Amino acid sequence: MRATYDVRAWREGAWWMAEVIGASDGADRAPLNAVSHARTLTSIEQTARDLVATILDVDETTFDLDLEYVLPTDVDTVVCEAIGARMWLDAAQELWHEHSTIVVRTLLGHGFSLRETAKLLGLSEQWADQRPERDISRW
């Protein structure tokens, strides 16, 4: 099992700070409480990975990081809401794909045209125009 290091990251002025706060069972505990910083949020994970690799004198691909971002409460709230909405959207799209596949196959199997299928599903005529009518294997 690969070692995992828990890292907490937060913004301090113009810098992002990262501190190793935990390690999985069996992991070398030497990096605990080590702190590093980076100019941007997008580089803080790599900075933390470099920190742990340097302390352990190992390749950075030999362990995992579990990064927790500490944000101001109002920012954290809207970020969590947006992530939740995205998860709902992804689930809804997957559900739509599953159901639309079944209904398209069913309608085409009963002799409905793609235009009729599109109309019943509330889809545009362009949707029907982009699909070969007899290729139901795709569905």
pLDDT digits (tens, 9 = 90+) for 29-41: 999 999 999 999 9
pLDDT value, residue 131: 64
Q: What is the pLDDT of residue 1?
A: 87
Domain boundaries, the chain: 3-70, 75-138
pTM: 0.67
Helix axes 73-109, 114-121, angle to 10 degrees: 140
Q: What percent of the chain has pLDDT over 70?
A: 94
Chain length of the chain: 139
Q: d(Cα 137, Cα 139) in Å, to the nearest integer?
A: 5
